[in-house]
Amino acid sequence: MIPRRAYAKVNIFLKITGTRGEYHTLSSRFMRVSSLYDTLRFERKTTPEFEIRGNFDCEVHSNTIYKAYKYLLAATHSEKLSAFFEDHAVCVEKNIPSFAGLGGGSSDAATFLTMCNEDLDLGLSVDELARIGADVGADVPFFVYGYESANVRGIGEIVERYDEPLLHFEVTTPALEISTPTVYRYYREHRFDPISEEEAARLEATPSREILASMSAKEANDLYPAALGCYPQLKEQEGWFFSGSGSSFFKIEE
């Protein structure tokens, strides 16, 4: 079975549009980072328990890949799927930093779903995989669709391809693990200021290179000031943009 790449992403812009219960709705441009990816493959094993091999800092049952497996099993009731992972482990070569705003866990989960669907002939459509992925995590549908660039709305479930050249990025990640729920909570309590539908539509129609040339890092990402507020040790980096809830920064590699 062929190994697959699970690419990182950056948020060219990330603007809050409102709330939906406990969640924040957003308008964001996701773009693939072609130079940064994890690699997934399946390997034979001898014990029946679900096994993930790789450098992870969480228990198997907390891993997004395991969550993707459980949701996929619930959706398909596939005996082929459960039997396959009794004698195969999921092996992950980790290169994408965790807790960094680059979508590594979501990309791993999406790539796992795609591998299972293709290698085990589960017969699910991409839209069906994306719906399963949305239960795993908000960023997973983007990675399921495999777009290089896309506008993402709602709580991550609405993904629309954006036709533009793929930019190449330099990415730097400080040695700081940032909690996404903590940043969102700080944003809601201290900086809540959703943009209008008109402004969201304007950004969604604007090419990524133009956005990065015309907006500051704080203007482009509503979560950046919130992350600075609740993580004083996070230092601003002039000329760099902030991805997701952080802690990674990126800029175009010319």
Residue 139 bears catalytic tag: yes
DSSP H or E stretch at residue 79: helix 79-84
The span from the CA of 222 to the CA of 203, in Å, is 14
Contact assessment for residue 203 and residue 13, using Cβ atoms and an 8 Å cutoff? yes
Residues constituting the chain: 254
243 contacts: CB under 8 Å, gap ≥ 6: 9, 10, 11, 100, 101, 102, 171, 221, 249, 250
- Which ranges in 93-222 belong to alpha helices (H)? 104-119, 126-136, 140-145, 180-186, 197-204, 208-214, 217-220
Count CA atoms closer than 13 A to 105's CA, side-chain side: 19
Contact assessment for residue 16 and residue 24, using Cβ atoms and an 8 Å cutoff? yes
Q: Residues 9, 15, 38, 67: which is the catalytic one?
A: 9
Residue 136: C-alpha distances to residues 86, 131, 140 (Å): 22, 9, 7
Q: Residues 38, 67, 108, 139: which is the catalytic one?
A: 139
Residue 17: C-alpha distances to residues 5, 144, 155, 169 (Å): 32, 24, 10, 27
In 3-state terms, what secondary structure has residue 210? helix
- Rounded to a whole number of angstroms, the CA Rg of the chain reads 18
Residue 9 bears catalytic tag: yes
Active centre residues (catalytic): 9, 139
